[in-house]
Amino acid sequence: MGLVIAVCGMPASGKGEFASILASKGIPVRSMGDMVRAEVTSLGIEEGPNVFGEVATALRAEHGDDILAVRLTSAVDSLLDEHSIVLIEGMRGTAEKAVFVEHWGTSFISVAIIADTETRFQRVISRGRSEDGDRSTFQIRDERENGWGLDQIISEAEFTISNNQEITEFTILVSDWLTSL
C-alpha cells in the first residue's frame, strides 16, 4: 500500500500551497474543503463568509463529525492503486483523523502547516475567497475549526512545517521535506 498524507492547519496557514507543491510533483490531491464547496453548490446556496462553515457544521451535525473523511476514503483508495503517495488537503478534526488512522494505519501520516495569526489574516485579505471575511469572521472560523479538534491534530501531527516566510522559501522547505520521506 502507498502512503496517505493529510495536511492540516489553521485557515490561511498554507495548506493549499502545500497541496500545490505536492501536486506539481505528480502527487494527486483530494481537498476536504472542495467537498464542502461542492456541497454548497449542490444546495444552491449563495457563497459568503459564513456559508461554508455553516454547511460543514450542518453536515457534521447530521451525519457525524467524520462524514467528509468517510466519504473521501474510497476515492483515495482508488488513487493508491496507481500512485505511491496521495495527499488529503484540509483535515480539520479529530474525528476525521480517527477515520484515516483506522482505515490506513501505518500508511497514514499527518503534516501540520503553521503560521502566525497576523500572517494568516493578511493572506485571507489578499486571497479574496468567498468564504473569507473580516477579522471577526476570521476569528469565528478559527474558533469553529478548533472546536472540531483542529488545534489537537495540529499538535499531534507527525511533521510540522512553518509557513511565515515567502512562498519561494516555503516551496524549498516542502520540497526538502518530501525528499526526506
pLDDT higher than 90, residue 46: no
Going along the chain from its start, the domains and CATH numbers come out as 3-175 (3.40.50.300)
Q: Give residue 131's pLDDT band: very low, low, confident or very high (50, 70, 90).
A: low
pTM of the entire predicted model: 0.91
Amino acid letter for position 69? A
SS3 (DSSP) at 121: helix
Average pLDDT rounded to a whole number, residues 114-141: 86
Give the Cα separation of 35 and 94 in Å (integer): 18
Give percent helix, percent strand, percent coil of the chain, each to the nearest 5: 60, 15, 25
Of residues 116 and 57, more confidently modeled = 116
Percent over 90 (pLDDT), the chain: 71
pLDDT higher than 90, residue 127: no
Average pLDDT rounded to a whole number, residues 133-151: 89
What is the rounded end-to-end Cα distance, in angstroms, of the chain? 15
Query: What is the per-residue pLDDT across 62-91, written as a single tens digit (0 to 9) for each?
Result: 999 999 999 999 999 999 999 999 999 999
Check residue 37 and give its pLDDT: 87
Decide: 30 and 76 in contact? Cβ < 8 Å: yes
Mean pLDDT, rounded, of the chain: 92
